[in-house]
Amino acid sequence: MHDVLDLAARLWPGRLAVRDGSGADTYAELADASRAVAAGLARRGIRAGDRVLLRLPGGRDFARVLYGVMRAGAVVVPVGTTVGEHHLRWMRRDAEPRLVVALGDPARTAEAVGVPATDVVSPAELLAQCGPDTGAPVPGDAVAMLLYTSGSTGMPRAVVCPHDRVRFAAEAIQARLGYNEADVVLSRVPVAFDYGLYQLFLCALSGAQLVLRPDLVDASMLREARTVAATVLPLVPSLAAILLRLARRDTGAPPVRLVTNTGAALSAAHASGLRRIFPDARIVPMYGMTECKRITIAEPDEDLRFPGTVGRPLDGTEVSVVDASGHPVAPGVTGEIVVTGPHVMAGYWRSPEATAGRFHQRAQEGVMLRTGDYGRLDEGGRLYFAGRRDDIFKRRGVRMNTHEIEAVLLDVPEVSAAAVVPPGEDGTLTAYVVSDREATEVLADVASRIEPAKVPDRCVVLPRLPTTANGKVDRDALRALEAVAP
């Protein structure tokens, strides 16, 4: 993937590539910095295939080190700076990195990760090295990254991402989204989340400028978008909810032309609110997972004509919906979503049984991925996401999923965020909302909008929904709240 950066440096050497709170790098400067990092890694004995763990916030340092590790033929293992010590140590044991790159006190990092202090280095130390780029060419099938899955339940699992599959995915996404040289992409999405990380690749493919500001406080998001004249906003629903709250008192609109969403479904209420905030923007719902990066992308504003769609498959890939026996179902019938194409990654790191259960080689079509997600296709090949297996349940004889109930909750006035936890052993269906209204008022409004069987038994009003490091609703945290509820 560093070849993509090198091409960008030749095409747009003086164009700004990455900006953060402390400065900016042009594409030429970013490419040079990545070569310095590669030289620094070589002097520390890092070789092709070695894992390098990056515990860095999104910014220029992350971009420099990411491309430098790839240039050296080593494997990038990005982990969020907010990941707890338990998960961090589990990732370290699983990935067995030769080196950890982090900011701050190396002794504290070493203790948190569980490695000797001599195995921790700062980006500045790597960048201080000078010398020719002595790395051998990196083959396309070499592993570029281990990306830990961002699910909101259970322990993370590393997906093996080879260079050629990452590049195919990035180029296919760029062909659909159409970032361009004039774009300024403002991202608060964590770079340890593939959605945030791939913004670097999409910008390098298009010559766009990427502004990485994970340090922004919520109240500054709209102001920063105006300051940098952002034209593209990659969002997840939790960020969309923040923008909607801010817009109540901050009405100045930046020149946003494109809003993308993934990670969870964007409700119709949130989409409508974003169109009010950014009147010139077009909204693009997307659906994907770490195991194949992106599965479908909608046409801009296609949700207005086909509500609930997450779009069609990437060019050169295939999406089908199958029943429990693996046979394709008719359009309109809900089943498991299956993906085939060059973007399907190489399986799970050191987990042959888990890989065999979901990744299947087909003689002609390539690797097929059973996603474990459910949805339906319409006659036009558009996909509609229904949820994961655990999100679909039957109650009072009616089959339903958490997402449809959440969509209704978000249509209730003054509800800015909502999540539903499927019934537990006691059969209670619980909704969690962020709202200025009383829980009883919210439930009464929901009861007027949806079938009786789908109305939650309980509604809990919270100041903010708990989220994972990647901005998704943390279902485990909600279940813990439910367990201690009176």
Instruction: Give, in words, the CATH class of 216-388.
Output: alpha beta
Do 429 and 409 form a contact (C-beta atoms < 8 A)? no
pTM of the model: 0.89
CATH fold for domain 2-171? Rossmann fold (3.40.50)
- Asked if 2-171 and 216-388 have one fold, the answer is yes
Q: How far apart are CA 450 and CA 414, in angstroms?
A: 18
Exposure class string for 32-58: b at 16+ Cβ within 10 A, else e: bbbbbbbbbbbebebeeebbbbbbbbb
Q: How far apart are CA 316 and CA 171, in angstroms?
A: 11
Kindly state the percentage of the chain with pLDDT values over 70: 96
Q: What is the pLDDT of residue 363?
A: 61
- Residue 350: is it exposed, middle or buried by C-beta count within 10 angstroms (0-12/13-18/19+)? middle
Identify the residue whose tokens are 């909502």: 418
Give residue-wise pLDDT tens across range 141-196. 999 999 998 544 457 899 999 999 999 999 999 999 999 999 999 999 999 999 99
Beta-bridged to residue 400, according to DSSP, are 393
Domain segments of the chain as ranges: 2-171, 216-388, 396-484
Amino acid sitting at position 45: G
Banded model confidence at residue 475, pLDDT cuts 50, 70, 90: confident
**H or E stretch covering 148:** strand 143-148
- Residue 404: is it exposed, middle or buried by C-beta count within 10 angstroms (0-12/13-18/19+)? middle
* CATH number corresponding to 396-484: 3.30.300.30
Q: What is the pLDDT of residue 152?
A: 44
Give residue-wise pLDDT tens across range 254-312. 999 999 999 888 888 899 999 999 999 999 999 999 999 999 999 999 999 999 999 99
**Cα separations in angstroms, 26 against 7, 201, 221, 470:** 13, 15, 24, 27
Give residue-wise pLDDT tens across range 433-457. 999 999 999 999 999 999 999 999 9
